A and B are shown apart, each in its own frame.
Chain A
Amino acid sequence: MDITLRINGETRTGSPEARKTLADFLRDDLELTGTHVGCEHGVCGACTVIVDGRAVRSCLMLAVQAAGSEVTTIEGLAPDGELGTLQQALWDSHSFQCGFCTPGFVMQATAFLRAHPDAGEPEIREALSGNICRCTGYQSIIDGVLLAAERARQS
C-alpha cells in the first residue's frame, strides 16, 4: 500500500505491506534506526515515537495506519546535531548506560513534559513506568527528566 506521511518535518512516502508495523517501516524502509524494537508486543516502550502529538508504541501501529500523520522520532529532536534541553539534561545526569531503551524514554518524556511541564517526581515516575530499562534502576533517568523540566522553566 502506498502511503505518504510526515516524518520529522519531512514528507516521506513508502509502500509497506499492510502487516508491517510502523516500527519496522521506520527502521527498514526509511532507515531511521534510532527507534528500537525491544519486545514487539507493546510492553517495553523502546519503540515509542510521537504520532500526531501523542506518544505511541510504534510496534503496535501498522505503518499504513500512520498515513497522513505527523510522526516524530528520536532523530527529529536534534536535527542539526544540537541537543535539545531534555537530551542535554539526560547527558548531564548520566541517565543512560547501554542506550537501547533510550529513544523510547526520550520520546515518552518529550511528550509528557510538553503536556505536564511542572510535573514532579511521582508523576514522572508514573509517566515513564511504561518504559523498561534494564541497566539503570531508573533514578538517573528520573533525575535527568526533572533537570530538564527545571531548566525549561528557567529559560
Chain B
Amino acid sequence: MTGIVAERYTGASIKRSEDPRILTGTGQYVDDVKLPGMLHAAFVRSPLAHGRVLSVDVFAARELPGVVAVLTGADLEAMTIPGQDPLFAMMGGGGPMPEYSLLATDKVRFMGDPVAIVVAESRYLAEDGCELVEVDYDDLPPVASAVFALDAASPAVFANLGDNIIGPHKRNEFGDVAGTFAAADRVAEFRIDVHRHQNVPMEGRGCVASFDADSGFMTMYAATQSVHITKMGVAMRLGMEPDKVRVLAGDIGGSFGLKIGASREELATAAASRALGRPVKWVEDRSENLAASGQAREESFDVRAAVSNDGDLLGLDVKMLLDNGAYPVMGTMVPGIMEMMLPGPYRLAALGFESTAVTTNKASYIAYRGPWASETFVRERVLDLLAKDLGLDPLEIRLRNVAPRTDPPVMMVTGRPLVGVTSKESLERVAQIVDIPAFRRRQAEERARGRYLGIGLATFIEAAPGPRSPEGPSGPMGMEFMRLMLTEDGVVTLFTGQMPHGQGHQTTLAQIAADEFGVPFEQVRVVVGDSAVVPFGLTGGSRSATMTGGVALHGARQLKGKVLDFASHLIEVSARDLEIFDGKVQVRGDPASAIPVGEVARQAASGQFADDVDTNLEVEASFDGGEGGWSGGSHCAIVEVDIETGIVKVERYVAAEDCGALINPAVVEGQIRGGIAQGIGAVLLERSAYDQDGNYQSATFMDYLLPTACDIPRIEIAHLQTVPLDADVNFRGVGEGGMIVAPPTVVNAIEDALAPFGVRIYEQHLPPARILELIAAGDQAQ
C-alpha cells in the first residue's frame, strides 16, 4: 500500500482549526491562567555583568504590604536540588560542568542574572518589592568578549572550572585535509563573524506553578516546546517524583527554541509555590525577555578554503569560537551539527573543523531556529567571495559544485548520503524565476543613474529529519510516539507530545489522520499539552512533519486495521472486504452496509463480545522516520542600497523549496516566510548588543529592532517536485529552513549591490552605519 488512501485533505490548505479561537481572543496563553489564591512573582536582577554578591537585604521588601514572600538564592538552594539546564544536560557535548546555584548566591554572571524572587498579590506589587531589595555587589572585571574569555588572564566565570572554556577545543578531519589543501590551485583565508541576536517571540517565557500541599502534587501551566521535558526538569530540581508533576500548556505565543525545559526562573517560581502552598505566576516582561532569557548565534570563524582555478570547492578548514554566555544551555551542542552540515549539498572532498566554546558574562547562548545555521552562512558567503576572486558568477560556482543526484548517492565528506537532494533543481528554478540576466541589465542601467541594486543567492539543506542512517531512528531525539483512539462519538483522537506554538499541528496532523483513517477532518481531534495524557515528545528540530506526520499516518492505519478487524465481527464480512469511507465502516463499494464509526465504537464498548475479540479501539504507535530525507532549497534576494544613508530595502525575495510532500501548503509557506523575515531582521535590524563592560544595551524594542510589515517584501515561493524516498511518509520539516538560508541570501545581495565600491563582507549584521563604513573602506582599498 503506497501513499495515503484517500487524499482529501493532505496537500490542501485546509483552514486551521486553531484560528477561530485565535481570531476571537479566546485562546488561552499562560498569562491568561488565573487560579484562586494566585500570587505573582518578579525577580531582582543583577545590574552588573560580573560581580560578587556580598549581601542581599530583603527586610524592606518583605515588609511592603502585599508582598507575601521574598526568597533569595540561598533560600532556594535549601529548597531545590542542584543541577544543569535540562537542554545542557541532554545535549551538552561532554564538556566540563559548571557549578552554580538556581538563583545567584555568591556571584552574578550577567546583567539580568536573577538574584531573588519576590512574590506578591500582584505583579505591580512584586515589582515594587523588587525595588526595595538591597543587594550589595562587589564588581568583578567582566569577561565581555569570547576573545578575552580565551585569555588565561580572564577571571573564571565559574570558579570550579578554573578557566572560561566550556566547550573544550576539539578538531575533527574528514577526507584528506592536508593533501587537498597542498594540492589546491588556491587557498583563500577569511575571518567571518556572526553577531548575537535572539528569538524574541511575541509572548515571553512564563508559567503558573500550583503546588497542592494536601496531595503533594505540582501542576505547572507552562509555555514550553515539550511538556515532558519541562516536567522532568521540575521534578528533578524540586526533588519530586515525576508522577507528582503535571505540566499543562495551552496556546503558546511563539518560541523559536526559547521555551525548552525549565528555566531557572520557572524552577524558582515552582519552588516558591511549594513553599507557600499557593499558585504563583511568573510571566517575564519584555526587558527580561531581551536581557535575560537567552540569546543566540554569536560565533566567529577562521576559514581556509581550497579551490581550483576553475571554481571547484575542494576543501574547507574551519575554526570556530562560540560565545556561550554565562550559564550553559545549548552552545556546546551546536558545533557537532555545524561540522556535519558544513559541506552542504556540495561535492566537498575534505573538511577540517575545530571549535571552542567559552563562557562570558552575557546571557546564555540558547537554541534559536536552526541553531547550527551559521554553517550555511559561512559556506554560502565563502562561495560568493571565491566566485569574485575567480571571476565566476555566484550561480555558476554553485551549479559547478553542487552534488548531482546519483544512485548510490554522493556522500557528504562528513558521512551522510545526499539522497533525494534537489539542490541543483532549486538553484535552476530560482534562477529561472528571477531571470538573472535581465536583472544584470537593469542593475547596470540603474548604476549609471547612481542607484545600487544587488542580487544574492544561497542554497542549503537541512536534516529534517535527514536520511535513514544504519545506526537507528532518523532525526534528532529518536522515535516519535502517538496514541490514537476511536471513541463512541465517532471522533478519532490523537495524543501527541508535539507542542505547537504556531505550527498548526492540530490541523496538519488531523489532515493526515482523517485521510488515512477515513473520517471527515472535523472528526479528528488532536490533544496536546498535558503531560499526564500525551506521550513524550518535543517540537523542535523541524521534526514534526516527518516524525509526527509519519506516526499519525501509520498510527491511523493501525487503528483502522483494528477497527476493521473488530467491525468484521459486526458485519460478519472479512476485514479485507471492509473499508472506512467518509466516517463509516462499510463493505467495499456498498454504502447500504455502512455503519458510522461511532456506532462501531459503541458496539466495541458494549461488552457483548467474546474475550478473544479485541474491542480496545486504541493504538500506541511509534515511528522511526522511515526513509527520512533532506529538506532544502535555494533563495534569491534583490536589494537596493542607498549609499548615502546605508538604508537597505529588500525589493524582491524568491524561494525555491523542497520540503518533501506538503501536508498543508499554506502552513508550509507561513513557516518559510516567517523564517525568512527573521533572517532579514538579523541582517538589517536585530542585534543583542553588549558594551565592553558587559552591559546589555538592547533591552527594549526601541533598541532591539524587529522587522515590520514595511521591511519584509512579498516572498515568492516555488515548491519543487520532491524525490519520494519512503513508501508512505515523504513529508519533511520546513520550520527552520527560511531562517537558515535567508541571512546569506541577503548579505550576498548587499555585497553584490556594493561591488562597484570594492566591498567585501565578512559579517552578518549590516545596519546603515556599517554599510557606509564598508563603502568607505572598500573605496580606500581600491
The answer on direct contact between A and B (beta carbons under 8 Å) is yes
Interface residue ranges, A against B (CB under 8 Å): 17, 19-20, 27-28, 31-41, 43-44, 46, 73-75, 77-78, 81, 83, 87, 90-92, 94, 96-103, 106, 125-126, 128-142
- The reply to whether A99 and B709 contact each other, CB–CB distance below 8 Å, is no
Could you give 25 example pairs across A and B, Cβ below 8 Å? A31-B34, A32-B25, A33-B25, A33-B28, A33-B31, A34-B26, A36-B31, A36-B203, A39-B701, A40-B285, A44-B202, A74-B25, A78-B24, A83-B24, A91-B16, A91-B23, A97-B503, A99-B253, A99-B502, A128-B709, A132-B202, A133-B202, A134-B200, A135-B674, A137-B712
Out of A36, A96, A131, name the residue touching B19 (CB < 8 Å).
A96
Q: Does B27 contact A (CB under 8 A)?
A: yes
B699-740 CB contact bits vs A (8 Å, 1 = yes)? 011100010111010110000000000000000000000000
Interface residue ranges, B against A (CB under 8 Å): 13, 15-16, 18-29, 31-32, 34, 122, 124, 200-203, 251-254, 256, 285-286, 501-504, 666-667, 669-671, 673-674, 676-678, 700-702, 706, 708-710, 712, 714-715
Q: What B residues does A126 contact at CB under 8 A?
A: 709-710
- The reply to whether B706 and A134 contact each other, CB–CB distance below 8 Å, is yes
Out of A43, A91, A99, A137, name the residue touching B674 (CB < 8 Å).
A137
Tell me, rounded to whole Å, the shortest Cβ–Cβ distance linking B689 to chain A.
17
Out of A35, A94, A129, A135, name the residue touching B254 (CB < 8 Å).
A135
Per CB-CB distance, the 4 closest pairs between chain A and chain B, nearest first, are A34-B25, A100-B253, A99-B22, A137-B673
Q: Provided the pairs A101-B202, A134-B254 are in contact, do residues A106 and B674 lie with their beta carbons within 8 angstroms?
A: no
Q: Provided the pairs A98-B201, A134-B201, A134-B706 are in contact, do residues A36 and B670 lie with their beta carbons within 8 angstroms?
A: no
Q: What B residues does A20 contact at CB under 8 A?
A: 124
Q: What B residues does A36 contact at CB under 8 A?
A: 29, 31, 202-203, 253
Q: What separation, in Å, do the CA atoms of A99 and B424 have in the docked complex?
A: 36
- The reply to whether A96 and B124 contact each other, CB–CB distance below 8 Å, is no
- The reply to whether B501 and A98 contact each other, CB–CB distance below 8 Å, is yes
- The reply to whether A134 and B202 contact each other, CB–CB distance below 8 Å, is yes
- The reply to whether A129 and B710 contact each other, CB–CB distance below 8 Å, is yes
- The reply to whether A138 and B677 contact each other, CB–CB distance below 8 Å, is yes
Out of A35, A78, A125, A137, name the residue touching B677 (CB < 8 Å).
A137
Q: What separation, in Å, do the CA atoms of A87 and B15 have in the docked complex?
A: 13
- The reply to whether A40 and B286 contact each other, CB–CB distance below 8 Å, is yes
- The reply to whether B15 and A94 contact each other, CB–CB distance below 8 Å, is yes
Q: Provided the pairs A98-B202, A98-B501 are in contact, do residues A137 and B715 lie with their beta carbons within 8 angstroms?
A: yes
Out of B286, B710, B712, name the residue touching A139 (CB < 8 Å).
B712
Q: What separation, in Å, do the CA atoms of A102 and B251 have in the docked complex?
A: 13
Q: What A residues does B122 contact at CB under 8 A?
A: 28
Q: What A residues does B674 contact at CB under 8 A?
A: 97, 134-137
Q: Which residue of A lies closest to B500 (CB)?
A: A98
- The reply to whether B670 and A132 contact each other, CB–CB distance below 8 Å, is no
- The reply to whether A136 and B706 contact each other, CB–CB distance below 8 Å, is no
Q: What A residues does B15 contact at CB under 8 A?
A: 91-92, 94
Q: What B residues does A19 contact at CB under 8 A?
A: 124
- The reply to whether A100 and B254 contact each other, CB–CB distance below 8 Å, is yes
Q: What separation, in Å, do the CA atoms of A140 and B502 have in the docked complex?
A: 14
- The reply to whether B22 and A102 contact each other, CB–CB distance below 8 Å, is yes
